[in-house]
Structure 1
Amino acid sequence: MLTLVSLLVFAYGSVFASFGSVVASRLPQKQSIVSPRSYCPNCKRSLNFFELIPIVSWLGLRGKCRSCSTPISIRHPAFELLGGCLWVATYLYVPGWPQRAVFAVFWLFLLVLVETDILYMKVPNVLTYPGVLIFFILTVLTGIQSVKMALIGFVVNFGLLFFLSIGTRGKMGMGDAKLYGVIGVVLGPWAGLLSLVVAAFSGSVVGLTLRAFKLLKKRQYVPFVPHIAIGVIVSVFFGSQLLNWYIQLVLYRGY
């Protein structure tokens, strides 16, 4: 029964992640996310049902448009796979269906912003501004955070990124600060800060590696939202273990 439910959850997660890709590609361009239906950007042919099945269609088409053979970015099945996996992990490790539903929406929200950052180097205000209010209401109503902790999480995480954005003169985008306001509401202050530490570590490793191999120019922008997403995922599913490990390490060194 657990396996069957997990498969269904994965399927729904991948479908919603696929829709999230449509939102991410169209919203910053001020295009409708409903119409027209998905189409090949090269030959403009509308895709049929069998070409829209998450992951499976990409594999069946061998990563190419059926009509014009234009390569289809591996980003699409990758995000669909990630969306399905996140929903399954949420189903398995987050207690309570209301809480799972909130995190399911939160993952979709985060994946959309990862893609907009990769594609357009933007974190749209049209998502982050209402996101703060919507997730504040949802997390408080479902008991994920208390009103107090959600507010503190917002102030601490948004405030820190806000001042970092000013201090780094734009190297850390203000959009990242707004996103961290939402993250602080959902995760609370401490898990939110942990996700930032992980994100900074991930971003530093990738950035230094790219520079070492001369794949990154001196002032070239590197999307940070993907690293934020990594930090959030680690914080949600492994945060307690990391904090316990750190506390034990500090106590051990103290003696």
Structure 2
Amino acid sequence: MTDHGARFSAARRTPQGTVEERLPFMSFILPSIFRQKYPRAVNALRTNINRLTTPLDVYATLLSLLDMNKESSTNNANIKQRAISLFNVIPAQRTCDHIKLPPHWCSCLQWQQVNANDIKIKQAAEYIVNYINQLLSTVSRSLCHHLILDSIHSAQMYRPNKNFSAPLERGVRVLTHWNRANDVVFYQITFGTKPNEAIYEATIQYTSRTGSFSTDHTHISRLNAYKSSANCIVRSYPHLRKFCFCIK
């Protein structure tokens, strides 16, 4: 099992690299005695090869191994259940929206290329960089350099359908009774910053009714290595390493 593919190589900046970050490799080698004793579970596992699964399902699978006799291996799993053992059949219609998987990490969405020079893309990229600087300022202005937007490499757009559902936490999909799905657009933007010479891929939500943007640090991926440039916060603020370019 791997947690991700290439993250900091040139390959990461390709469509294949984007998929690899979101679809880690996982394989099972089942003992013959297991296959003989639990054939329905094995069949369910084979069926799930082409179903949407997440680490939460892997966790549920490991728990189920503690007592396989309790596993029903049914086809009746709740489509909105976020943790289903892979020894049970995952619903074929399961989507990222059903299990509240943020668009940044969903590999099932149909993104459309948009002009990277579009004014809305520039505004979105500026918002993300300002958001990053706000995160860094909460640490200490004396530790990390202030970042500026240097370049926009590419941009994609995803517009949710009418089945777009309830809010997510952590900065995206904050919908209310007057803020409908057709008011929301997601942009995925690849951009560079200075002085850290970083390249990021970030997903940001734009709500047209309010003209507002929102994102979260978990929806911003670093595409090139930061190595030792963030050592000043490596122990105290490890979640900000991908953003910080130490002053000293």
Instruction: Establish whether TM, by shorter chain, passes 0.5.
Output: no
More strand by share: 2
Q: Which is greater in Rg?
A: 2
TM-score, normalised to structure 2, is 0.28
